Amino acid sequence: MAAIPALVTASTKLHNTTGLTDESHDCQIRDHVAYCRNLLSTKALSSISRDESVLDPHDRTLIQDGILSSISFFSVCKSKPSRKRPMEHCLGIYYPRGRLWSKAVRYLETFNPVQIRYAGQEFRQLIEYPLLATRPIREAILRLDPSCAVFTSTHLLFVQLCLRAKAYACALPVLDKHVCHFPAPSSRASSKSSLALCAKHESGLSFITDSSALSATLTYKDYLLYFLYGGMIYMALKEWRKAFHFLGVVISMPTVGSISMVMVEAYKKWVLVGLLANGKLSSPPNNTPSHLVKLYQSIAKPYVSLAQAFERGEMQTLVAEVDAARDIWIMDRNMGLVSQVVNTFSAHALVRLRKTFAALTVAEVLEQVPHLPADPIATESVIAPLIMSGAMNATLVHSPSHTSDTMLRLSGKPFFSQVSHESHMQVRFRKEGQLMTALMGSLEETNRAMALSDEFVDASSKGQAWTTASEVNQGVGDDFGLDMDEDIMGG
Amino acid sequence: MELPPLSTAQLEQLAASNLPPSQLFEILSRYESDACLMVADSGHPDASGGDPQLLSLFYSSFFFAHLLTNQVPEARALTQRMPETLRHQDPSLQNCLTLLRAVWQTQHAQVYETLRNLPWPEPLYPLVRRYESFFQDRTLIAVSTSYEAIRPAVAAAYLGLDSQAAEKGDQSIIQKFTDCGWTWSPESQLLHPVPITVPSTEEQPSTGIRDAMAMLGSRAS
């Protein structure tokens, strides 16, 4: 245990960065990483790796040392089972009731976000430990890269856990941020920026790279699943428009040849969510290849038929479609969504009245939308919540006499409501503005990365080669022409 | 920020405090893992291990924190995350489920009935009263923007007031509405609401829609 003071001394030196350039600090941290990894892997000091007191939250120096605590933590985590420490014990201490649970949670909330960039492998293995809860993982993701713009394997793990734990709102701080990048290949990251890892980076793209190991190797399926699960979380929260957007990302993913089952799954949900959000069968995003649209429509035919019946306003056909394909909805686990579609049929029919009428009495509404309760008071109790929730832009006007019908005015809200609407729009504009600024930053980052990437340079040089070749060919062609002419002339 | 351990006293203090709903929600959400640990201590995730009264108070308080922050679908998810046995057996959590159903279905009368007449544990009273007031305020704002003219009995029902007295023209009830700027027409016996505008908490002083449009213009250029 005498080694612990040595570790603390080494760690203290690391904290003293006054007067150091980023490059010197970077070298110092890299040396420290090597030192820690070496120290904790030696047999003589293996006792440290098994000593949970290394992670004692009261020892601020160790805990604040992101590298040491990460590596120590992982060393403790990966301690092998033995006769004295059977597998159940090794795993059990990381379960919520285990001794290391609170230390793990505390660690994820307090680690040094700069130093952790040097210990990506240990960090990821700790965070991907399947027994840790959603909230600490969320805090760790946001602590590592507050913009969340770089997609990592932890993003997928996190949304999966949120979905499984039914902790939907917990996922929003991550889901609401736009994913703009994948971890850059290390060659690109090193060429595009000479900044040291510990320097101040404008974007996580500079330090979340292939070589940082902060993300596992990603496949296109990971990306699809992230957006599918994200869409399902928004569906659970009834944020239909956001769900629609997330599922739209999945279905418009470029593919070569075969279509992924994840995309088909997403398309089925996308059709139903589109009905709930917009009341109609929407067109797929513009960037969806036409052959994919045809494939989707043939594979998910019952969904398309259901949507067409909904769009035509035919309640009986809709119910018949639901009954006919009940087994399919159940098998696809979309029965809940289908039920919600049926339940919102009347609401969307009411909203559509606005296209034709400026005002009508509740009795006239009953004639137009026949599936509402026959009693005008009950009908009013269906219409009023729609207006109150903002789903329907209308007002109700009671008449002086109880015998007269209530009037439904669809010609827009009065002035004061518009003022309120305007103030809400201002807030939305401001939010959108901030979002656009963030997106523009990410776009610039992407442009810069693409311009300096090996692929771009290769493509550019190929392009130049093609240009040169075509220029040469053109010349050759001209020569051929001349030859021909000459031959003809000669002939 | 370190939180004191989860305890009945701590929950009582939180319920009685006048913390903004978002802060209350944040603090209680940080206690959820502690509550899960207590449940897990019983050895079975569906059992109500630990202290059932403490767990009941925690989950009920957390449920109200969801409603106070207007997170109704997430409140429903919370009821699915609760230990099943506790949810089925605890009267306070059963009341929460009844309330959730009424809020979900926008049955105003049922919401007031549940909040006022069901037996809630005493430490939870401040949150129950707070939610009643919150629900009334939200409904008043919604009615003011949804009706151009409304009969007093209907308006009273929305706000959990005495509908019958309102129908008979009870002046104290009419006055509650006129105090909000609504006008009362004795001839037609109708209230004319004035839409209540609530500035968003994120809203900053602005010179109006022009600023927003200018902002959009600068984005476009």
Q: How many domains is chain B partitioned into structurally?
A: 2
List the structure tokens of A383: 């219409």
B138 domain residue, yes or no: no
Tell me the mean pLDDT in the region A131-156: 83
* Domain of residue B156, residue span: 147-216
The answer to whether residue B211 is domain-embedded is yes
Asked if B107 and B158 sit in the same domain, the reply is no
pLDDT at B211 over 70: no
Q: Highest mean pLDDT range out of A33-37, A120-124, A417-421, A427-431?
A: A427-431
Q: What SS3 class is residue A407?
A: strand
Chain A stretch 265-324, residues whose beta carbon is closer than 8 A to a beta carbon of chain B = none
Reported ipTM: the value is: 0.82
- Structural element, H or E, at residue A432: helix A415-452
pLDDT tens digits, A208-246: 887 777 888 888 899 999 999 999 999 999 999 999 999
* Comparison of pLDDT for A36 and A290, the residue scoring more: A290
Question: pLDDT tens digit string along A275-321?
Answer: 999 999 999 999 898 889 999 999 999 999 999 999 988 888 999 99
- Min mean pLDDT across A372-386, A472-486, B82-96 is at A472-486
Q: Is residue B1 in a domain?
A: no
Q: What is the DSSP letter of A359?
A: E
- B109 and B152 together in one domain: no
pLDDT of residue B148: 94
Across the interface, which of A237, A395, A414 has its CB nearest the CB of B74?
A: A237
CA pair distance B106, B101, nearest whole angstrom: 8
Query: B156 and B98 in one domain?
Result: no
Residue B140 in any domain: the answer is no
- With a cut of 90, say whether residue A183 has pLDDT above it: no
SS3 B48: coil
pLDDT over 60 (residue B184):
yes
pLDDT surpasses 50 at A485: no
Same domain, B75 and B151: no
Helices (H), A54-178: 60-64, 66-77, 87-92, 101-110, 120-127, 134-144, 153-165, 172-175
Q: Which chain A residue has its CA at the smallest distance from B34's CA?
A: A96
- Contacting residues of B for A388, CB less than 8 Å apart: 106, 139, 142-143, 145-146
CB contact under 8 A, A423 and B149: no
Residues ≥6 apart with Cβ < 8 Å to A256:
none
Last residue of a domain, one of B124, B158, B179: B124
Res B137 pLDDT > 90: yes
Domain limit, last residue, from B54, B89, B124: B124
CB B13 within 8 A of CB B3: no
Q: Any CB–CB contact under 8 A between A424 and chain B?
A: yes
Determine, yes or no, domain membership for B65. Answer: yes
pLDDT, tens only, B147-166: 999 999 999 999 999 999 99
pLDDT band at A42 (very low <50, low <70, confident <90, very high): low
Task: Tell me the pTM.
Answer: 0.75
Give yes or no for residue A68 having a pLDDT over 60: no
Q: Which residues make up the CATH 1.10.10 domain(s) of chain A? A: 350-410
Is B142 part of the contact surface with chain A (CB cutoff 8 Å)? yes
Tell me the chain A residues in contact with residue B33 when contact means C-beta distances shorter than 8 Å: 96, 105, 133, 135
Residues B119 and B12 occupy one common structural domain: yes
Report if residue B195 sits inside a domain.
yes
Note the CATH architecture for domain A350-410: Orthogonal Bundle (1.10)
> What CA–CA distance (Å, rounded) separates A229 from B116?
40
Distance CA A82, CA A89 (A): 10
For residue A263, what pLDDT band results from cuts at 50, 70 and 90?
very high
Judge whether residue B219 has pLDDT over 60: no
Task: Give the angle B208-B211-B216 at the CA atoms, nearest 5°.
Answer: 130
CA-based nearest residue to B182, from B169, B196, B166, B167:
B196
Whole-angstrom Cα distance, residue A311 to residue A151? 37
Q: Per-residue confidence at B2, pLDDT binned at 50, 70, 90?
A: confident
B23 and B118 in one domain?
A: yes
A166 contacts in chain B (CB < 8 Å): 77, 80-81
Least confident of A344-348, B54-58, B151-155: A344-348
